[in-house]
Structure 1
C-alpha cells in the first residue's frame, strides 16, 4: 500500500507544480496585458494550488508518520482529514462562483471574449493533463487523491463551461449564458464536494463499519 501512496505523492507533487506554474504565468500576463480574465483565472488557480498542495502535504506527513514509532493513530485518517478539508475548500469555492455569477448577472461587465476563451482553453489543457496524472483506481483510492482529483475536475469543468458559455455569448450576443454556465458547473461541484465530505467524514468519525449494515434502508 505504501508504494501506492508514494506514487500518489509524486503525482500530486507534479500537479501542484504544474498548477502553480500556470498560476504564476497567468497572473504575470494578466498584469502586463491588463487582462482581467487571465488575472482572475490565475487567482482562481491559486486556490487549487492550495488545495492540491494540502493533498501533497498529507502524503508527505503520512510517509513521515508511518516511519515514526511515536505515532499510534491511524495514518490513513490523515488522508481522510486532508480530503475533508479539501472538500470543504471545494464547497466554498463553488459557492463563491455562484455569488460572483449572480453579481455579474446584475452588473454585467464588458467581456473581452476572444481573450477570455483563450484563457479558459489554457486552463482546460492544464486541468486535463492534471486529471490524467491524478487518475486513480477506485479500489486503491483514498479520500486525499480523490479530493485532489476533484479539484482538477472542478477546474476543468469551470473552464469547459466558460468556453461553451463564452462562445455562445459571443455568437448570439447573450452575455448571461456565461453566468448560467458558471452557476450550473458550481452546482455540480457542490454535489461532488458534499459527496467527498460525507465519505471522508465517515472515516474520521469511525462510522464506516456501522454504516454499511443499514445503508440500504437508511437514507439521510
Structure 2
C-alpha cells in the first residue's frame, strides 16, 4: 500500500492534521463574549434581587447562570481544540471536538425542554399567583440579553466555510452557472460552457451535446474579459466526457468569456449571482450552531412568556402562561433533535454528502481506473477525509497521480490512497 496526505491551506500546511474551521478563533471569541454578558447579567439580577427582596429576580439570575454554563461548553471546546490541535494523540486532529460539544449541548437543551414542559403542566394542574408587572419586566430584560447574545454570535456565517453556486440547482448534482451552462452552436456541434464548482474550486467546463463531437483539448481555450478590460486565458484538459480548465476561476464571476474552438470563436456572458452555501454538511460549525440555538431558544421562550403574561393579565387567561411554556418546550425540543441528529451523524462518521463520494469516484474512474473501496467522512468544519483503494492497469500511476486528480476538491484536506494493480485485484 502506498499512502500519503495533502491538505489545503485554510489552516496551515503540511502533514499536521489540523482540521479546525476557518472561523474557529473568531467563534471562540464571540462565545466568550456571550459568557461575559450573561455572567454580568446574572450578577446584577442576583445582587439586585437580594437587595430589593425580589425572589423572581434571584430566580432569573440563577436561570441566567445555566445559560452561561451552556455557553461554557462551547467556549471550552473551542479553546481545548485550538490548544491541542497539534497533539499527536488525536489521530485525526481535534476538529470534531466542536461536534461533541454540540451533541452535549443538544442533550442539555432537551433536558431544559423537559423541565419547562414539566413546570408548565404543573401550572396547568395547580395555578399559582403571578406578579405580572415584575414577571413581564424580567422577561423583557431577559429578551434584551438574549437578543444581544444573538447579535454577538451572529454577524457572519455561523461557522460555515462558504462556497457558492451561480444559478439554482433545481435538483441537479452539479452546481454551475445557468444550470446546464451557456450553449454555443459551432459547426462541429452544440456545446455547453459552464462554471463548475460542486465540491471543487470553480473551473470552466465545456461539455458536448454529442459524445463523439468533443474537440482536441489543446485546440480549445477560454479567455475571460472583465468589465475593467483585464483578460485571462484558460487552457483546457480532457476529462473524458468534457473539457475542463486547468486553472481555477478567480472571483467575481461576472465577465465575457471568449471560447476559441478549432472552427472559430464564440462569446458567452456570465453574471454574478447571489452566493449560496455550497455544502453545509461539510462546512457547518456545530459548536457555534449549538451556542446560537441555545440563545435563540431562550429568546423564543422570553417572547412567548411576554405574550402569555400580557394576555393573562389583560383577559384573566391564567392558562396562557403555562401554554406559552408548552409551546416553548416543543420549539426547543425540535431544535435539540435537529442538532443531536446532525452532530451524532458526524461523531459516528456517517457519510453526510454522498454526492462528494460519487464525484471522487467519478474523478478517478474517468481516467479508466476502478475504485475498489472508498470512504469519505468529516474530520472538522470544512475538512473532509477520504480513503481510496484504486485498481489500475497503468504501472506508472502511483498515489501521487491520484492525489493530483483529487486535489481540486476544495473540502478534501486528508487523503490516503492505496494503489493496486489489476492483476493483484483479480487475485483477491
Considering Cα pairs closer than 8 Å and 6+ residues apart, tell me whether 1 or 2 has the greater RCO: 1
Question: Conserved in 1, the CA contact under 8 Å of 2:56 and 2:135?
Answer: yes
Corresponding residue for residue 320 of structure 2: 177
Q: TM-score, normalised by structure 2?
A: 0.48
Once the two structures are superposed, what CA deviation does each residue of 1:89-130 show, in whole Å capped at 9, x if it has no partner?
A: 011001100101111112211111011110001110011011
Of 137, 141, 157, 1:137 maps to 157
1:159 aligns with 2:302: yes
Of 84, 98, 109, 1:90 maps to 109
Greater Rg over alpha carbons, structure: 2
**Unpaired segments of 5 or more residues in structure 2?**
1-9, 11-19, 162-283, 356-428
Corresponding residue for residue 64 of structure 1: 83
SS in 2 for 1:75: coil
Q: TM-score, normalised by structure 1?
A: 0.90
Of 346, 351, 363, 1:203 maps to 346
1:48-63 counterparts in 2 under 5 A? 48-63=67-82
Corresponding residue for residue 193 of structure 1: 336
**Structure with the bigger percentage of helix:** 1
**Unpaired segments of 5 or more residues in structure 1?**
214-220
1:109 aligns with 2:128: yes
1:47 aligns with 2:190: no
* Shift in alpha-carbon separation, 1:155–1:101, aligned structure 2, 3 A: same
SS in 2 for 1:121: helix
Q: Name the CA distance, whole Å, in 2 between partners of 1:109 and 1:179.
A: 11
Residue 56 of structure 1: CA displacement? 0.4
Paired positions, count: 212
Deviates more, 1:53-62 or 1:140-149: 140-149
SS in 1 for 2:96: helix
Q: Name the CA distance, whole Å, in 2 between partners of 1:22 and 1:49.
A: 10
Once the two structures are superposed, what CA deviation does each residue of 1:161-192 show, in whole Å capped at 9, x if it has no partner?
A: 11110011111111110110111011010000
1:124 aligns with 2:143: yes
Q: Name the CA distance, whole Å, in 2 between partners of 1:147 and 1:83.
A: 5
Corresponding residue for residue 35 of structure 1: 54
Residue 88 of structure 1: CA displacement? 0.5
Of 28, 35, 38, 1:19 maps to 38
Q: Name the CA distance, whole Å, in 2 between partners of 1:45 and 1:37.
A: 12
SS in 2 for 1:137: coil
